[in-house]
Amino acid sequence: MLPNANPHVPVALFDHPKYWAECYDTSPYLPTSRAEMDALGWDSCDIIIVTGDAYVDHPSFGMAVIGRVLEAQGFRVGIIAQPDWHSKDPFMALGAPNLFFGVAAGNMDSMINRYTADRKTRSDDAYTPGGLAGKRPDRATLVYTHRCREAYPDVPIIIGGIEASLRRIAHFDYWQETVRKSILLDAAADLLLYGNAERAVVEVAHRIASGEPVSSITDVRGTAFIRRDTPPGWMEIDSSRIDQPGKIDRIINPYLNTTEMSECEVEKRNVQWFEYEDPRSKRPDEHKLIFHPRARLDRDTTVIRLPSYEKVSKDKALYAHANRVLHLETNPGNARALVQKHGNIDVWLNPPPIPLTTPEMDFVFGLPYARLPHPSYNGVKIPAYDMIRFSVNIMRGCFGGCTFCSITEHEGRIIQSRSKESIIREVEEIRDKVPGFTGVISDLGGPTANMYRLACKDPKIEAACRKPACVYPDVCHNLNTDHAALKELYREARTLPGIKKILIGSGVRYDLAIKDPEYVKELVTHHVGGYLKIAPEHTESGPLSKMMKPGIGAYDEFKRLFEKYTKEAGKEQYLIPYFIAAHPGTSDEDMLNLALWLKKNGFRADQVQAFYPSPMASATTMYHTDKNPLHKVTYKSEKVATAKSPEQRKLHKAFLRWHDPKNWPLLRKAIAAMGRQELIGDGENQLIPHYKAGEEQLVYEAHRRKNKGGEHQKRTGKAAAPTGKPNAGKPQGGKMLTQHTGLPPKPRANFGSKPKPTSPPKQRGR
């Protein structure tokens, strides 16, 4: 282990001395069986990774990244992918690891992977060969950890991945409608790594290999562990209560843990405060302000005490308060440790990991991935791999701060970018090595397509900032919005020999894009494959303010630029806007107004999504508590209205699909209840028609077309053949023609005038 006196200057990933030096070569695939271990000359594994996903040796799959990073450190790493969890035997397939088990549920939270937003069981799993469902258990991290413990009781277990990240403190569980303990306790694991864990897992692995007990590893950023006391030299700030107005004595630090009376007295002597002399006084020192010096707390040795699990599970206001405090401590430049009591023990969270530098990102993505699923799957398709096999991840992180999204809680809001040279090398590797490549790169992107190399103009401001987003309510004036590096990357990548097309499949942050119209021109002219997806999410200020999303005006400006440059390029291209139903802060009237906007703009959404309360997200806190953690939480703070009942959630989704006859009866009833009967009729400025004889037949035929196409596709793997009717066969799988399956948007209609006719474009894949 290299010495590192300054915790803010971590050892680079590639500077650690190798554990096994040069004794073992790089594995074609990390072994998944004893036979593969024997072929490599291994008698045992140093580390075994257990994952809920199929093993795909590709940098888009977490187990491959962590496995290859540890292999580069000289460790022998094995993989147990999607084990049968009904007994301990599959967890013993590779024997006992010498150092530890690393357990993760996979690239998705296992509950989100297995259930829809309506809590219905999904019929498939994109991370499983053949897309088969049921290959992982509910709460996979817990189940796998318990089986590992049963198999080898004395082997340390370290949990990680997005499921562990988002459940690292007491959290609301949507599927049980209750607050659960930190997953660290439920899993009975020794250590939890949250966020992108390369830096933490490398340090922990080397320290365990050097003989250090896992129980003593309590100083690594990005980790959570159990302890029973606050260590000497640390100052504890008590944030376990919501401040109440009332008589205020001269309290030195309202957040100080007052049980530590000696520290309290020290703080009283050192705090900065002032005395104001009454100007009416006749004393010689009148009008004088007397300042007393204040001791600055060292953030590296300061911990904030959150309300306990027992309190947040019973008091929704305290839950919202805890969530707000946690999100204020997510910037690695200034975040402090957090601690939360569960019974008589504390779950301690160290500050987030220091982001990877560009050389470190290049190192991680330049490791010798096979870029293919493990050969044991015999070529059976893995849907998630098929989606990304010709794509390149160019960056990590997102400073958008959308409250319904988990990226910030997991990857952080500091953008971590690869070098252009590293990205170009990966494009060339795909061209030369990946079977089936036809010359089209499906994506150069990441969590957001156009945040590559964007950052605060001043690193000191970035390190001190505590804002949850750099683009809300407006784009921060300190944010560099110049897309020059991304435009240069696009231009060089698309001119590579053998590359026919570079598409951008990741979502574009349009409020950033309009700050650089030249980027929009570059994107629209060269990198759109017929459709470009963006996510305004809503049109109304109520839900948008709870999402921390920009107003619809930014979308309108982007649409104007998109259409301008599309016309200049002589192309036929369309925007695909995505919207969320039933998000906290959304009323029935908001959804009605969104439906009217959709009709006015000619959008008929096929794929719609309802708000999904993922663990630890700020919007999930709104859903659970009816409080808004984006502002200071009090017992009397604003109430956030949320659609929770199945009936209201169904109604909100129906508004997004206003054009579907199946939804008309429900919408008629709701619109009438709102007193908006003028919106029912056949006029252009009306949303849905009056009831007409034969409407049931329309519904029946819609179901029949969908079922016929679906059954045909299940039997043959192909879409239903055209029937000879207009537009027949264009939507895949028998779906109705909508904006998401081939129908272009109608021209923007002025109420009272007829839209100009348009012809549908050629069918394009998305």
Q: Which residues are annotated as a binding site for [4Fe-4S] cluster?
A: 398, 402, 405
The pair of three-digit structure tokens given for residue 399, joined into one six-digit string: 């400073």
Q: How would you classify residue 622: left for phi > 0, otherwise alpha for psi between -120 and 50, otherwise beta? A: alpha
d(CA 30, CA 68): 8
- DSSP, collapsed to helix, strand or coil, labels residue 460 as helix
530, 572 Cβ separation under 8 angstroms: yes
Helices 484-494, 517-526: axis angle to 10 degrees equals: 20
Q: Of 674, 627, 639, 641, nearest to 655 (Cα)?
A: 674
3-state secondary structure 174-185: CCCCEEECCHHH
Q: Tell me, what amino acid is at 498?
A: G
| Buried/exposed code over 77-105 (b: 16+ C-beta within 10 A; e: otherwise) | bbbbbbbebeeeebbbebbebbbbbbbbb
For residue 238, give Cα distances in angstroms to 24, 303, 342, 381: 50, 9, 16, 52
Give 64-117 as a DSSP string.
HHHHHHHHHTT--EEEEES--TTSSGGGGTT---SSEEEEE--SS-HHHHHB-T
For residue 667, give Cα distances in angstroms to 63, 390, 543: 46, 42, 20
In 375-469, alpha helices (H): 383-388, 407-411, 420-433, 459-464
The pair of three-digit structure tokens given for residue 733, joined into one six-digit string: 């799988």
57, 30 Cβ separation under 8 angstroms: yes
CB atoms within 10 A of CB 348: 20
In 171-260, alpha helices (H): 183-187, 198-209
d(CA 262, CA 568): 73
Residue ranges at the known binding site: 398, 402, 405
- DSSP, collapsed to helix, strand or coil, labels residue 202 as helix
Measured at the CA of 557, the angle between CA 552 and CA 562, to 5 degrees, comes to: 120
Work out whether the CA dihedral 185, 187, 193, 196 comes out positive or negative: negative
CB atoms within 10 A of CB 635: 12
| Backbone angles phi and psi of 103, in degrees to 5 | -120, 130
d(CA 717, CA 731): 15
Residue 235's beta-bridge partner residues? 302
Residue 533's beta-bridge partner residues? 576
Give 522-579 as a DSSP string.
HHHHHS--SEEEEEEE-SSHHHHHHHT---HHHHHHHHHHHHHHHHHHT---EEEEEE
d(CA 366, CA 393): 12
d(CA 670, CA 688): 12
Residue 391's beta-bridge partner residues? 443
